[in-house]
Structure 1
Amino acid sequence: MTQYSDSRRKFLKTTSTAAAASAALPYWFTASRSAAQDYKSANERPIFGCIGTGDRWGNRKDGKFGGVGEQVLKYTDIAAVCDVDASHVEQAKQNVRQRRSKGDDRPVETHEDYRRILDRDDIDAVTIVTVDHWHVKIAIEALKAGKDVYCEKPLTLTIDEGRQVIKALEQYGGTFQVGTQQRTEMGQRFLKAIAMVRDGRVGDVRKVTCVIDGSPVSKSIPVAEVPQGLNWDMWLGQCPKVPYRLGEGGENKYYTRTNCHLGFRWWYEYGGGKFTDWGAHHVDIAQWLIDQNGPDQGPTKITPLVVEHPCEMDEYGNPKCDDRFNAASKFTIRADFPNGVEMYIESQGRNGIMIEGTKGRMFVNRGTVAGKPVEDLAKNPLPDDAIEKVYGGKVPKSHMLNFLNCIKSGETPISDVYTHHRAMTTCHLAAISARLNRPLEWDAKNEAVIGDEVANAMQAREQRKGYEIKV
């Protein structure tokens, strides 16, 4: 492995002429014909370590392989896989070996502890597809170790974690892509919607509604024996030490009745419910659309209009029950922005984004772009370069390929840490206001809740000893 990696690095170091030429292109540039061919040469293929190899990585419950791991294997080589669940990591190893070229018998190392991957000099980049509360700690330590990072959304568990990862990126450098694929894929529907807004097709935007669904509810979930091969203490990480829980039911693979795999998102201890699940996608696109995802930008006020939780919250916004899903199941949250736009984050209705302006309205989700402004395109189409202007250049073929091209060029990927932090700040504030059930005034420049000590304290969480995040 060392000899293979050294020869590849030598090749990359001798391509300065090509790198200089590519630097003149937009950072997201992807040649439509030759993009996939760029990584066919063994010397050009970065070596990856994959941290977290569950459902989203590719080890799906239906037995099919698909997800981040599949994307990595299209363009790179995977030298090692890591997971705190032995069943996940063994299946990941088999998936990698089965998809390599015939005769490629290089080892695929398996690890339980992600630090073993970060220690390896032969690994250039990592994917982080763990539970949400592990993202930032691993990402910061990966940057320290000189690795480029592809991390699934939502990047952060708290607002403070966003500041920490930005500080680490600026201190240690590296290429960092967040896995919000709506920015590049999904048939470019979201890009088309943004391009239409930029072209004035709905007039001045006044209201944007993001329907992100509500978190599922559950009955009491019993304490259960920790499955063999699962390091439960390490899975919990920075979160409080609690018993493992598992109950019957939950046919939807994402609604498994547990506080572990495929159920963790519905507990505020490990995530933000739908606020940070679908919110990480739709709020991100909405803030991009209204030009509110840059430095010092964001909402001025967050107001909970409707909130329902599966269990009661105490005065500090903490769930009073510990045996069931506790994230908000029903909500309407209004976010007021300084440019006069009202954003509504809602649980009920058709999943997607409704955009309302002075000249009309349109709706966009992963399946459609609809509304009269869209119908009018038949007679008055967008300029040929309208979607490219959203980016400032050619739209990439895939999220992963954009990441790899940016590793080569040193440019910033499409889903960067900075804009993601601004979108996630709105999502986290929505969750905080819902948990406290009161309005919050937000100072975006100083990143502070005005006049509410409890809400301000909720920008961070206490971290269990031994699992603290340090930049």
Structure 2
Amino acid sequence: MLSRRTFLGAAAAAPIVLSRASAADKPSDRIALGFIGIGIQGRGHLGGFLGDPAVEVVALCDVVKERLDNAGQMVEKRYADRVKSGAFKGAKSYTDFRKLLDHPGLDAVLIATPDHWHAITCIHAAKAGKHIFCEKPLTQNVAEGRAVVAAVNKSKVVFQTGSQQRTEFGGHFRKAVEYVWNGRIGKLKTIRIGVGGPAVPCDLPTQEVPVGTDWDSWLGPAPERGYNEILCPKGVHKHFPAWRNYQEYAGGGLADMGAHHFDIAQWAMKMDRSGPVEVIPPEDPKKTSGLKYVYANGVVMIHNEFEGSEKADCVFEGTEGKILVGRSGIKSLPESILKEPLGDTAERVYPATGGHHKNWTDCVKSGKPTICTAETGHRSATICHLGNIGYRLHRKLKWDPEKEQFASDAKANKELIREPRAKWAI
């Protein structure tokens, strides 16, 4: 479904656009929502949306039968009163996301598949005119991200990347960004990001495929290999599977949480529609921390390397102090930086109340851009991809954030794209 020509032909940059027909125009005034991928993350999203009066869950899709059945039971239980009254006819189950996209009256989809499936499902959903909420990291490689952005902008659907730190977690990250924007730490010099290491090649042994699991569909565009329950757990699992560790499907810890924390860093730099100009891996090829991203304005962002005990999800260092922020809180050195509130004339971040889901559904109804559009989600994921490439190649790389290419480096540029398996090519 995603050929090399499709990727490389995507526009180098695309403007934010407004939505097509609003779901609020429907008589029911509810957004008819379908779910693609109902593992532990998708199940969490499902539980949240089942309590949202702005939404009606009408369709479900997964490649593991037990998960699909369980999700259907969740929907039936939540809508039990409406089922009895005849106001709700049940959520239709699908094993092929393309058939879900043809579901009558469907307005929008939530995509919570493994990362290697995000691009194909997003592009097909956009072409079908469905509004999209897609989990982060947005893609498995850079070219996929640009293709997603091009498809979303062409279709004019409303898109939300699942970068919940922009709206949730006590507002700590929002506050950090505003204080950086308003000069409370002086001139920003260095950002340190605390996340895991890069992805590694998958070397897991082959196991017998469980009954009810469509393993070939789970692989999708990824290289063909045997089943292993570490990648696709049996039945309804309660943990986050380790497919995240392997480069065939994702970007390791560097991308899994990095898509969140690098997103906040780029937001604070006002570079969340651009990127760095140089990637410098550590000198020791065995080291999996310390890679540096250098920006045109001189700011250096460092992966998982801290000074002393000053470790946090995001550490912003300026000429007049530091801000350390994480999901559990925010502090500054010196403490006086955060003590005085910002004034009425201070520059503020995108206003968002009610959480990431509500921001998306509000924008679906209004047609306004979300707090984390496809372009922003792509740029944040690109930071993760660049880091993985830097660790794999173990040499300095010059990056052009406008062209989204490495300068005079054919080998590095080959790392920006992956041909999908033939059955998923167009």
* Mapped pair 1:369 → 2:352: no
Q: Whole-Å Cα distance in 2 between the matches of residues 308 and 365 of structure 1?
A: 29
Instruction: Letter of the 1:361 partner, please give it.
Output: K
1:300 and 2:277 aligned: yes
Task: Classify 1:81/1:299 alpha carbon distance in 2 versus 1 (closer, same or farther; 3 Å).
Answer: same
CA positional deviation for 1:213: 2.3
Partner secondary structure for residue 361 of structure 1: strand
Pairs within 5 Å for 1:50-69: 50-58=35-43, 67-69=44-46
Q: 1:196 aligns with which of 154, 160, 179?
A: 179
Query: Residue 438 of structure 1 aligns to a residue in which SS?
Result: coil
Q: Deviations over 1:384-443 (max 9, x none)?
A: 5758x212xx32211011101111111110011112222222211111111111111011
Partner of 2:57: 78
Per the TM alignment, residue 362 of structure 1 is displaced from its structure 2 partner at its CA by: 1.5
Partner in structure 1 of residue 153 of structure 2: 170
* Distance change >3 Å, CA 216–CA 409, structure 1 → 2: closer
1:143 pairs, out of 101, 121, 126, with 126
Matched ranges for 1:242-321 at <5 A: 242-246=225-229, 262-294=241-273, 297-305=274-282
Correspondence for 1:112? 95
1:206 match: secondary structure: strand
The farther-off stretch of 234-243 and 350-359 is 350-359
Take 1:276 and 1:287, find their aligned partners in 2: how far apart are those partners?
14
Q: Relative to structure 1, is the Cα distance of residues 85 and 255 closer, same or farther in structure 2, using a 3 angstrom cutoff?
A: closer
**Separation in 1 of the partners of 2:202 and 2:249?**
19
Query: 1:437 and 1:254 mapped to 2: Cα distance?
Result: 37
Confirm or deny: 8 A CA contact 1:306 1:332 kept in the other structure. no
Q: Residues 101 and 401 from structure 1, CA distance in 2 versus in 1: closer, same or farther, beyond 3 angstroms? A: farther
Q: Given the superposition, is the C-alpha separation of residues 307 and 141 from structure 1 closer, same or farther in structure 2, using an over 3 Å criterion? A: farther
Aligned twin of 1:90: 69
* Alignment partners' CA distance in 2, 1:147 and 1:80: 13
Aligned partners of 2:200 and 2:246 also within 8 Å: no
Paired residue total: 394
User: Residue type matched to 1:12 in 2?
Assistant: A
CA distance, structure 1, for counterparts of residue 81 and residue 202 of structure 2:
49
Taking only the aligned residue pairs, the percentage that are identical comes to 35
Distance change >3 Å, CA 10–CA 416, structure 1 → 2: closer
Highest RCO, 1 vs 2 (Cα 8 Å, sep ≥ 6): 2
Instruction: Give the equivalent residue in structure 2 for 1:330.
Output: 288
1:424 matches 2:381? yes
Report Cα offsets for 1:65-121 as digits up to 9, x if no partner. xx2112222221111111001111111111111112524252221111111110123
**Alignment partner, residue 127 of structure 1:** 110
Cα distance in 2 for residues equivalent to 1:169 and 1:247 = 32
SS of the residue 1:44 aligns to: coil
CA distance in 1 between counterparts of 2:298 and 2:23 reads: 52
2:190 aligned counterpart, secondary structure: strand
Would you say the 8 A contact 2:163–2:260 is kept in 1? yes
- CA-based RMSD: 2.7
Cα distance between partner residues in 2 of 1:237 and 1:121: 25
Q: Aligned equivalents of 1:226 and 1:212: distance in 2?
A: 33
The runs of 5 or more residues in structure 1 that have no matched partner are 1-8, 15-41, 59-66, 310-328
Structure 2 length normalisation: TM-score?
A: 0.86
TM-aligned CA distance change 1:254 to 1:199, over 3 Å: farther
8 Å contact kept, 1:308–1:331: no
**Separation in 2 of the partners of 1:271 and 1:247?**
14
Pairing of 1:333-412 with structure 2 (within 5 A): 333-346=291-304, 350-378=311-339, 380-383=340-343, 386=346, 389-391=348-350, 394-412=351-369
Distance (whole Å) between structure 2 residues aligned to residue 103 and residue 441 of structure 1: 58
Q: Which amino acid aligns with 2:25?
A: K
Is the aligned partner of 1:45 residue 2:45? Answer: no
Q: Relative to structure 1, is the Cα distance of residues 229 and 255 closer, same or farther in structure 2, using a 3 angstrom cutoff?
A: closer
- For the Cα contact (< 8 Å) 1:303–1:335, is it kept in 2? yes
CA 1:337–1:234 in structure 2 vs 1: closer, same or farther (change >3 Å)?
A: same
Structure 1 residue 13 and structure 2 residue 33: aligned? no
Distance in 1 (alpha carbons) for counterparts of 2:244 and 2:190: 28
Q: In structure 2, how many angstroms separate the alpha carbons of the residues matched to 1:207 and 1:52?
A: 38
CA distance in 2, matches of 1:359, 1:367: 24
* Aligned-pair CA distance for 1:330: 2.7
State the shift of 1:374 in Å.
4.6
Shift of 1:286: 0.2
